[in-house]
Chains A and B, each alone.
Chain A
Amino acid sequence: MTAFDSSSLPPEAPIEAVVAVAPGLTWGERLAPFLANKLAVLGAFLTFFFLVVACIGAAIMFVPGWSDLYIDQRLRETLLRPLSPGFPLGTDQFGRDMMWRIAAGTAVSLFTGLAVTIISMFFGMILGALAGYAGGIVDRVISAFIDLVWGFPVILVAVIFVGALKPGLTAVILAISVVNWAGFARIVRAQVISLKERAFIEAARALGVPSWKIIVRHLVPNMLGTSLVMASYYIAVTVIAEAGLAFIGLGAQPPTPSLGQMISEGRNFLYVNPWVAILPGMTIALIVLGLNTLGDGLRDIFDPHLRRS
C-alpha cells in the first residue's frame, strides 16, 4: 500500500499546517482542504452512491419476496444488452435482471468489506496498541507475529479456510480478516509509538493523570482520524480480494450474487454480450476508485503529516 509509505513523503508539514486541521475550526474550514480536492469530492460522491445501491441491494436480498427481482430466471430473455426494454442494464445467461444482480452484488461486496474491516480493525488496534504501548519483549513478539501474518498470501489462507469450513462468505471474511488485521496493527503500532513520545503525553503523566485516562483522552482521539482513513482503503482492498476469490470460485456461492462471480460467469459469454462481465467489473472499479479517493481526501483532513503536495 504505497499510500502509507510515509518514508517517501515530504518530511514535514509546517506546524501551522498540522494545527490548521485540528478541531476548533468550523466545519467549513475543516472541510476546505477536502472540498479543494476535486477527486476526493468525486470519491465521496461515488462512495455515497454505492452505499445507497448496496442498501437497496441488501433490501432486495433480505425482504421476503423481493429476492425474485434478481433471482427470477426469464429463459426467453437471456443475455439482453443494456437499455433493453424493461431491463436497463440487460440480463445474464439465465435471463436474470443485471440491474438488481449488480445491486445485490454491490451489497455483498461492500458489506463483506465492512465486516472484514471492522474485524481486522478491532484486532489490529488492540494488538498494535499493545505492542506500541508496552514496548520491549511484548512488542518484539507481537511485531514478529504481525510481520509473519502480513506476509501470508490471502489466496492461500482462503484455500485453507474454504477447505476447513465450506466455500462461502464466512470463509472469505475470515480469510481476509486473518491477514488484514496485521496491516492495521502495523500502522496503529507506529502511531502509538510516535504519540507516546509526544511531549503532551509526557506532560499529562507529569500532571499525575492516570494511564487509562491518558489512553482515553489523548491516544484514542489522536488516532481516530488515521483509523478512518485506513478503514476506507481497507474496504477497497477487501472488495478487490473478495472479487478475486469469488472469481476463482472460492467466494460467495450461488445463489448469493457476487460481483467477482458475475465476472467469472460472464467470461463465457463475452462474444454474445460482453456487458455481463463488463458491468460488474466497472462496478468494482468505481467502488474502489471512490473509496481510495475518499481516503485521500480524508487523509488531508485528519492527517496532514501524510499529505503530499
Chain B
Amino acid sequence: MTAMVPTADIDSGSGTAPLLQVRDLVTSIKGRKSDVAAVDHVSFSVSRGEIFGVVGESGCGKSMTALSILRLIPVNAAITGGAILFDGVDLTTLNERAMRSIRGNRISMVFQEPMTALDPSFTVGTQITEVIHAHSNVSKAEARERAAQMLDRLGITNAASRLDSYPHQFSGGMRQRVMMALALVMNPQLLIADEPTTALDVTIQAQILDLIAELRRDMGLSVLLITHNLGVVHEIADRVAVMYAGEVVEIGPVQQIFANPQHPYTQGLLRSMPYLTDRQDRLYVIPGRVPELRAMPSGCRFAARCRNRIPICTQRHPQLVENEPRHALRCFNPTPYVD
C-alpha cells in the first residue's frame, strides 16, 4: 500500500497549479563549527483560495519557514536548498527589489510578535497608511479612510478615532489586529499569518476567522496559517502540516488528521489539549523536550519522546510517506489514535 512519493506532490489535489509551492526548503543557521538546518527539506503547497495550517512545538521551524518565503530570515541564516515557487516564479532567485514589490503587496505577513513588529514611536494610523502609500497612489484622506475601515472590519470599536493612538495604548489583542490590518489592507494574494489570534478572545477570534474566510471566498485569498491553536486549524484550515524539529512529520486534510492522527507526535498534541466540558485532574504532557538543533539524532527525531518507539527508529531516519491519499507521515510504527 505505502508508496514513496516525492513530498512536493502531496498537494490539495485540486489539479490546478498551486499558488505557493515550497519544495525541499532548507534554511540553515550559521554556526561556529557547522551550519544547522532549522528548516529541513520542508515541502508543501498552498492552492489558490486554500487555507493551509502549520502546527508544531515551539522552535520547530514554523516561523523560519514563513520568513524564508518572504526572504526575511535573520542575517545569520540562509536558504541553502530547495525552491519556493510563488505563482510560478522562484522567490529564492529574485533580487531584493523584486522581493520588496511582492512583500506587503502580493504576499503579506502577520508577524508573531506584535510589539516588536509595530514601531512604538509612530501612531497606529501612520503605520497603516504608510503601507498603503508604499504600494498605491491614494490621497492622505483616502488612505486614512481605508485604514479605519480595515480596523473596523477587524472589530476595533471607534476605529477612526483610535488611529491616532500609539501601539502601547492598545491591548494585546488590539495590537494583533493592527498587525492583521497592516497585512490585509493591500488585498494580498497570499496571507502568511504567524500566530494571528493568540491574544484574542474566542469571539474576536471567530470574527477574524470569519473575515479570513470571507476574503478567501470573495477575493480568492490563500492563507498560510501558523498556530499553536489546534481548534483554530480545525475550524478554518483545509489542510495541515505538523512540524517537528525542522521537518514535516504529518501532512494531510484537516478532517483526516484530526479524526485519525497517525504520527505519535500529532497524537500527543491532540492528547494535551484541555477540553471545555470536563475539568481533568492533570493535563497530558508529551514527556521530554525537543532535541537541540546542534544535536539532532540521526534516527527519528521524535524517538526519545515516543511511546511507539521500536529499534529501527533510532537507527534510520524515517521518510515522509503517503499512507492514504493525500495524507503522508514520517513514522516507522504508526498506531491508531486512542484518547
Contact = CB atoms under 8 A, between A and B. Distances in A.
Q: In the complex, A touching B, CB below 8 Å? A: yes
Interface of A: 6-8, 10-18, 20, 26, 28-29, 32-33, 36-37, 189-190, 193-194, 197-198, 300, 304-305, 307, 309
A29 B32 contact: yes
B contacts with A: majority SS = loop
Given A11-B117, A26-B32, 5 more contacts: A10-B103, A11-B109, A17-B77, A190-B120, A193-B168
Given A20-B76, A32-B76, A304-B74, A14 B67 contact: yes
Given A14-B63, A29-B32, A194-B120, A37 B75 contact: yes
A201 B49 CA distance: 43
A194 B121 contact: yes
4 interchain residue pairs of minimum CB distance = A12-B111, A17-B74, A194-B120, A11-B117
B30 A11 contact: no
B121 A193 contact: yes
A7 B76 contact: no
Contact of A10 (B72, B121, B134): B72
30 contacts: A6-B119, A7-B126, A7-B127, A8-B134, A10-B70, A10-B103, A11-B118, A12-B72, A12-B113, A12-B117, A14-B74, A14-B112, A15-B116, A17-B76, A20-B76, A29-B31, A36-B75, A36-B76, A37-B75, A189-B121, A190-B121, A193-B121, A197-B120, A197-B168, A198-B115, A305-B116, A309-B71, A309-B72, A309-B74, A309-B75
Given A7-B122, A7-B127, A307 B75 contact: yes
A13 B77 CA distance: 12
Interface string B93-132: 0000000000100000101110111111110001100100
Contacts, number: 82
A300 B120 contact: no
Interface of B: 30-32, 59, 63-64, 67, 70-77, 103, 109, 111-113, 115-122, 126-127, 130, 134, 168, 179, 182
Contacts of A12: 72, 111-113, 116-117
A17 B74 CA distance: 6
B74 A13 contact: yes
A151 B335 CA distance: 70
Contacts of A26: 32
A36 B30 contact: yes
A184 B30 CA distance: 33
A16 B290 CA distance: 15
Contact of B75 (A16, A194, A300): A300
A244 B130 CA distance: 34
B182 A11 contact: yes
Contacts of B179: 11
Contacts of B127: 7
A88 B137 CA distance: 57
Contacts of B117: 11-12
A198 B112 CA distance: 16
A8 B67 CA distance: 17
Contacts of A15: 63, 112-113, 116
A236 B120 CA distance: 27
A11 to B, nearest CB: 4
Contacts of A193: 120-121, 168
Contacts of A198: 115
A15 B179 CA distance: 16
B122 A14 contact: no
Nearest to A11: B117
A14 B76 contact: no
B115 A20 contact: no
Nearest to A9: B119
Contacts of A7: 119, 122, 126-127, 130
Given A7-B130, A29-B32, A190-B120, A307 B112 contact: no
B132 to A, nearest CB: 13
Contacts of A10: 70, 72, 103
A16 B119 contact: no
A300 B117 CA distance: 17
Contacts of A300: 75
A123 to B, nearest CB: 20
A237 to B, nearest CB: 21
Contacts of A307: 74-75
Most buried by B among A10, A29, A197, A198: A10
